[in-house]
């Protein structure tokens, strides 16, 4: 598999992206040669996942810098369009801001900075996956673990490797995974379409379950730990992730199952005091009223469709980044694993 998002320097430059809407039926890569096409790809979830969005944000600035050399005001306006597409994922704006910081040095410098974001992603994810694997190993029984995950936090949600699912990959390499239960993740089925596809590709034993079966699986003793990613983590450890994560955390707390959030430092927003301050994106109601274009509810049915929810830190065993672990109400910073 190629990188989820990447830079193609030919013909003036373009962003390449795995079309995540097409999986698992078709594996295809789009070439996005304009800011308009990139904004559309972020909005319709061709590109999704916090770290991947951060990379896409930086690449969007690179596109604008190449298209509008000598016009910094236009580049900044285009960059703001990219940053504003999905407000909950802090990585998107941070990727934009990182690339914009090189604007005065010219388009080639902006492209180089955006490509540096790509190059750093896999190494960052591998480090945080090792740290999170250590945490889950310490929290779980001394045998291969039965893990549950929600949405998609694998290579498709990043440039490469993954966060929550990257941790499962690391544990698999250690021989510490017995089975993964993957929630289908309504309403867009990122778990069924993407996580199940990735687990099959990397050869991990897994079963798919409907979101509403997760609490039952915990009650029956089928889950040793829950591991998920995040789109934004507040300074107090509250974590915003795909809708349904909070319900999993409540069930996990009820049944004594440790839940671990795995995310890069770029997802931690220390300027946001708590989850109450995180803006939650609400998406089009047709994502719920229809499935694969086929209506499944009466036309015009009112819909509440938040893309994310916030899990309070008190329900989490840990939040793990490549540099720190949040637990017991405080961030613990340790030596960075290489």
Q: Among all residues, which ones are annotated catalytic?
A: 231
Write the DSSP symbol of residue 10.
G
Residues in the chain: 338
Instruction: Report how far residue 78's alpha carbon sits from residue 73's, in angstroms, rounded to the nearest whole number.
Output: 9
What residues contact 166, with CB distance under 8 A and at least 6 apart?
125, 126, 128, 129, 153, 154, 155, 158, 262
Q: What is the DSSP string of 83-103?
A: HTSSSS-HHHHHHHHHHHTTG
Measured between alpha carbons, how far is 125 from 114 in angstroms, rounded to an integer? 17
Q: Which single residue is written with the structure tokens 């673990």?
A: 145
> 49-74 burial string, b = 16+ CB within 10 Å, else e?
bbbbbbbbbbbbbbbbbbbbeeeeee
Residue 271, classified by CB atoms within 10 Å of its CB into exposed (0-12), middle (13-18) or buried (19+), is exposed
Measured between its terminal Cα atoms, the distance across the chain in Å is: 24
Contacts of 34 (CB under 8 A, 6+ apart): 63, 67
Beta strand 145-149 with 177-183: parallel, antiparallel or unpaired?
A: parallel
């Amino acid at each position: 598999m190629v990188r989820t998002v990447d830079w193609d320097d030919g013909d003036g430059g373009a962003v390449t992206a795995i079309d995540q809407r097409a999986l698992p039926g078709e594996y295809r890569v789009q070439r996005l040669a304009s800011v308009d096409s990139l904004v559309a790809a972020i909005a319709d979830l061709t590109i999704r996942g916090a770290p991947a969005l951060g990379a896409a944000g930086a690449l969007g600035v690179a596109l604008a810098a190449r298209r509008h050399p000598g016009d910094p005001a236009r580049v900044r306006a285009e960059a703001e369009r990219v940053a504003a597409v999905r407000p909950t994922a802090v990585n998107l704006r941070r990727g934009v801001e990182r690339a914009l910081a090189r604007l005065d040095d010219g388009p080639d410098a902006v492209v180089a900075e955006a490509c540096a974001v790509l190059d750093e992603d896999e190494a960052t994810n591998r480090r945080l996956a090792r740290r999170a694997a250590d945490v889950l190993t310490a929290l779980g029984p001394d045998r291969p673990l039965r893990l549950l995950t929600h949405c998609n936090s694998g290579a498709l949600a990043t440039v490469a490797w993954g966060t929550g699912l990257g941790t499962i990959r690391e544990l698999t390499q250690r021989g510490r995974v017995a089975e993964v239960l993957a929630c289908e993740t309504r309403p867009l089925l990122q778990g069924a379409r993407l996580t199940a596809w990735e687990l099959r590709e990397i050869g991990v034993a897994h079963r798919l379950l409907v979101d509403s079966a997760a609490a039952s699986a915990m009650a029956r003793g089928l889950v040793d730990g829950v591991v998920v990613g995040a789109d934004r983590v507040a300074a107090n450890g509250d974590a915003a992730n795909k809708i349904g994560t909070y319900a999993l955390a409540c069930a996990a707390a009820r049944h004594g199952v440790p839940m671990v959030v795995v995310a890069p430092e770029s997802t931690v927003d220390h300027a946001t005091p708590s989850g109450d301050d995180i803006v939650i994106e609400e998406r089009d109601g047709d994502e719920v009223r229809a499935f694969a274009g086929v209506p499944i509810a009466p036309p015009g049915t009112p819909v509440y469709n938040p893309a994310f929810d916030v899990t309070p830190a008190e329900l989490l065993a840990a939040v793990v980044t490549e540099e720190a672990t949040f637990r017991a109400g405080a961030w613990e910073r340790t030596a960075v694993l290489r």
